[in-house]
A = this chain, B = another copy of it.
Amino acid sequence: MTHQLKVIERKQLQEKPDPATLGFGTLFTDYMFSMDYDPELGWHDAVILPYQNIELSPAAQVLHYGQAVFEGMKAYRTGDNVRLFRPDENFKRMNKSNARLNMPEVDVDFMVDALTQLVKLEKEWIPTGEGQSLYIRPFIIATEAYLGVRAATHYKLMIILSPVGAYYGSDHLAATKIYVEDEYVRAVRGGVGFAKAAGNYAASLMAQTRATELGYDQVLWLDGVEQRYVEEVGSMNIFFVIDGTVVTPELNGSILPGITRKSIIELAQHLGYTVEERRISIDDVFEASASGTLQEIFGSGTAAVIAPVGSIKYRDQEIEVNDSKVGPITLDLYNHFTAIQNGTEEDPFDWCVKL
């Protein structure tokens, strides 16, 4: 593991985008981070270099066998103050994904250091508007040119940066409409659902496309074995407020262990809410709605932070939640959470890394 970090300067910087028009994940900053792995040298040639295309062999294993993992996190800026939200958690999770996909571990401290240097260099790229941030995408791909199915010997880790607006457009607390998928399955225990493995996302596209066509924003996945238990939503974990208690599906091997999820559980407990991590079936949710105890639902994830859910459709039933408005507990959690991320409120958990 080398701890040298070279910087290759870029001659011509790009013009920064108009913050008013920021979307998600289409624009990239001037620089990126890259590092290579081979069995002799381990991770080596760590470098910050101008954002540019990469060259791959057409036989590179990532293109054939999907041996790739990624992470997603954000940097926030207020004036000159830049904050990263729990970056160590992302690289720790990356190592769990690496282990599941037979890929080499990274050094978490080194990665946080390298990321810090990269973000400092690109500070001016971090937009400061409401709901805006710099989206950070670390990823590792298998680069070995070999067509046999086995773990690759050579890898590349990169970090690219994208200035982003709110994930669901400007009205970031508008309630989303959820479609419960009862045919397609995203993941099953014993599989790779808990890893941020590239292939999980390709496997989810059909269901998302169908939900969109039917007029829904996101898919709610059920477990792969019984197709009864609630798992997660598209790229968010899910929370229910039932009879005053905050309930979220327990981590079971097929759900991604969201860092927002984990942080919201800690924050909610800190604020005095009762939180339960447990198995919850889709029938439980509909019964709670029928009996009047289902108060709020929201999704949690890096991209959207917290997204209120306004309605859920399952087979031939559809329920509305809290009149399709953001509920009081969702709003309370959202306000504290984003204030901690932006640095406008004290950070009792030491979540933020100030650059």
Contacts and interface: CB of A to CB of B under 8 A. Distances in A.
Interface of A: 24-26, 28, 32, 51-59, 62-68, 70, 100-102, 135, 137, 139, 141, 145-151, 158, 160, 162, 183-186, 188-192, 197-206, 208-209, 224-225, 227, 234-235
Contacts of A206: 100-102
Contacts of A235: 149
Which 8 pairs show the lowest CB-CB distances between chains A and B? A199-B199, A25-B147, A66-B198, A185-B190, A65-B201, A66-B199, A66-B66, A102-B205
A186 B53 CA distance: 33
Contacts of A57: 53-54
A322 B67 CA distance: 37
A236 B242 CA distance: 48
A137 B192 CA distance: 26
A317 to B, nearest CB: 20
A162 B70 CA distance: 30
Contacts of A191: 184-186, 188, 203, 224
Given A147-B24, A190-B224, A227-B190, A63 B62 contact: yes
A237 to B, nearest CB: 15
26 contacts: A24-B148, A25-B147, A53-B55, A54-B57, A58-B158, A63-B139, A64-B139, A64-B198, A64-B201, A65-B201, A66-B68, A66-B197, A66-B200, A66-B203, A67-B202, A101-B205, A102-B205, A135-B147, A147-B162, A149-B235, A150-B209, A188-B191, A190-B227, A192-B203, A199-B199, A199-B203
Nearest to A208: B150
A202 B186 CA distance: 15
A67 B62 CA distance: 10
Nearest to A209: B102
